[in-house]
Amino acid sequence: MITTDTNEIQLNPYTRTFKDCSGTPLYLTAKEFDLLYFLYSHKGQVFTKEQLYDNVWGNDYITDTRNLTSFIRKLRKKIEPDPDKPIYVLTVWGIGYKFNENKP
């Protein structure tokens, strides 16, 4: 289980549960959880959209960058205090996405 202090998110890969910084459980779809867990497990590492498709969806998935952008947007709406100013899932312009290495 990945636990953090009470001021941060809580992510449990065994129960596939997520709690926001107030401890409130939030519902994530299977792919939203997979995407968040993958990024969280590799804090600070930048992944291209293609790498995220390969690692989260698998090689059989036809990549469509708009689909991934939509997943990121929906995920941010659920986990970020202000989705327009994300602090967890960050965009690395021209490359892809990463989980903020400075966040537990």
- Looking at residue 66, its pLDDT comes to 75
In degrees rounded to 5, what are phi and psi of residue 91? -90, 135
Give the C-alpha separation, 38 to 34, whole Å: 6
Give the C-alpha separation, 72 to 14, whole Å: 22
- Looking at residue 42, its pLDDT comes to 95
The class that CATH gives domain 30-99 is mainly alpha
Give the C-alpha separation, 17 to 15, whole Å: 5
What are the residues facing 17 on neighbouring strands?
Answer: 12
DSSP E strands: which ranges in the chain? Answer: 10-12, 17-19, 25-26, 47-48, 89-92, 96-99
Tens digit of each residue's pLDDT, the chain (104 residues): 444 444 578 889 999 999 988 888 999 999 999 999 999 999 999 999 999 999 998 876 666 667 889 999 999 999 998 999 999 999 999 999 999 998 76
- Looking at residue 20, its pLDDT comes to 83
- Looking at residue 45, its pLDDT comes to 97
